[in-house]
Structure 1
Amino acid sequence: MMEANEILNPVKRIGDVPGIKVGHQFYARAEMVAVGFHSHWLNGIDYMGQSYSKGEYRNYTFPVAVAIVLSGMYEDDLDNADDVVYTGQGGHNLTGNKHQIQDQKMERGNLALKNCVEQHVPVRVIRGHESKSSYTGKVYTYDGLYKEKS
């Protein structure tokens, strides 16, 4: 769909995506990609790179995160409904045991989240839950915009 330019909202944006309200459920990460809500079917952090530094967002320091998926992939992630400790990306082994095997680097999505905190930019938060009613075994629910407390 991306190669054929058939994504519903192909341009990344800060904030909400038209037509997707808090509580909206996706039955696969690919559904989020298809509507332009989160552009990665695997990565937990979706962000805008330097190419967005012109025009509407020129006053931001890039990269800037636009969305994260909380799905329990890291051993020290913490999700307390209103407060989230999000480990970031990288540094864990890919065998599924969630253990960190090396330090993360302050680049890509991690740098984008740091820039959001420093600039008080809201990030879309999607929570993944186990679900027997989903063909993927998970349901992803849009939980709203989160930003660093002032």
Structure 2
Amino acid sequence: MQDAHAQQLAYHQRRQCKPGWQDLVQTLFSGILATAEGEDGHQFLRLMGGDLARRHPLPACRTVGELEDNLNRLLAGFDWGEVTLLPGDRSLTLAHIAWPQAPHADQGSWQAAFAAVLEGTYAVWLQAQGGHEQVPLRWQGPEPQHTLMFRYQTGL
């Protein structure tokens, strides 16, 4: 029997697989990354994520719990998985699970491209809650168990 986490991931992945659309998005992402030089492709995807966040604004939140709930409501509307917020002294870690997979894609490139879109999306949503543009929100790199980890951290 699968554990609850594996069942949740499998459920989201079944819902997220939309033949044609998944292939189109994967083709666009890989084309952007293949034709842009260096970090330019990832920066473009961050900008697209930010634009998406502005089109779907996050309601004002008073607590971290309310922020997490509102983020998850927006993500559910996209079928983009779920996020858990882990506050620290001077940071906020975002653990994003059950994000859409691209069955025919190079998984490393797909993960990096989707993470870049989420970087832009989360950054705009956090700035709208009073965050500062100078405080970076960054993907922490590939993680095991299909979790995308992001850190929003002020200077030490």
Give the TM-score normalised by structure 1: 0.28
Give the TM-score normalised by structure 2: 0.27
